[in-house]
Structure 1
């Protein structure tokens, strides 16, 4: 049986995440949602996308849930290729008001 009071002590000692950490988590979740939306729009299951990428369904699930580990550019490029999309990285001086099929990370 889990020692729930001990778990609460650990969580309380760790404190609340900083605004920076919260922003990173939000970005990961937004990217996961975008990946989910594009995959389902393409009519693919997680397993089918995984097969196209040469990985496992559990990796796709983890990516769609916001990562766990930071999403690497090479992984995102493989997702784009498997979905017949393009991955575009940009460092514009100003961020456009609207970005279709994109996630702002800066």
Structure 2
């Protein structure tokens, strides 16, 4: 999706029109929904990107792309939750996604 398409979609939505989301938009939204809580939890723990990467058996660039909402890591999600010492809750339905991290009890 290019910038002009996005702007048109946003403008139409603000005008009250129903706008269908294409798959690229849905995928980008999910990546952002996942990335923010990963970033928030990592900062809460005071970890730099290499630390959870090592704990999860990932590379620092993989954690960086996840933090930034650039990708959805399909396989290492469980390892990433463990590395961030919490439980990851991911809810995905047709139009929305929501991700949270719940720290393990101390």
Q: Same fold (TM over 0.5)?
A: yes
| Larger radius of gyration between Structure 1 and Structure 2 | 1
Displacement, 1:23? Answer: 2.9
List 4+ stretches of structure 1 deviating above 6 A: none
Question: What count of residue pairs does the alignment treat as equivalent?
Answer: 83
Alignment partners' CA distance in 2, 1:77 and 1:101? 13
Aligned pairs (5 A) from 1:48-63? 48-63=51-66
Structure 1 unaligned runs (5+)?
Answer: 1-10
Alignment partners' CA distance in 2, 1:50 and 1:67? 16
Q: TM-score, normalised by structure 1?
A: 0.60
Alignment partners' CA distance in 2, 1:47 and 1:100? 22
Displacement, 1:87? Answer: 3.1
Q: 2:73 aligns with which of 53, 71, 74?
A: 71
Provide closer, same or farther for how the CA distance between residues 100 and 32 of structure 1 changes in structure 2, counting only shifts above 3 A: closer
Alignment partners' CA distance in 2, 1:26 and 1:100? 11
CA contact (8 A) 2:32 2:68 kept: yes
Structure 2 unaligned runs (5+)?
Answer: 7-19, 102-106
Match of 2:82 in 1: 81
Q: TM-score, normalised by structure 2?
A: 0.60
Q: Which has the higher contact order (CA 8 A, sep 6+)?
A: 1
Taking only aligned residues, the RMSD between alpha carbons, in angstroms, comes to: 3.2
Residue aligned with 1:66, SS: coil
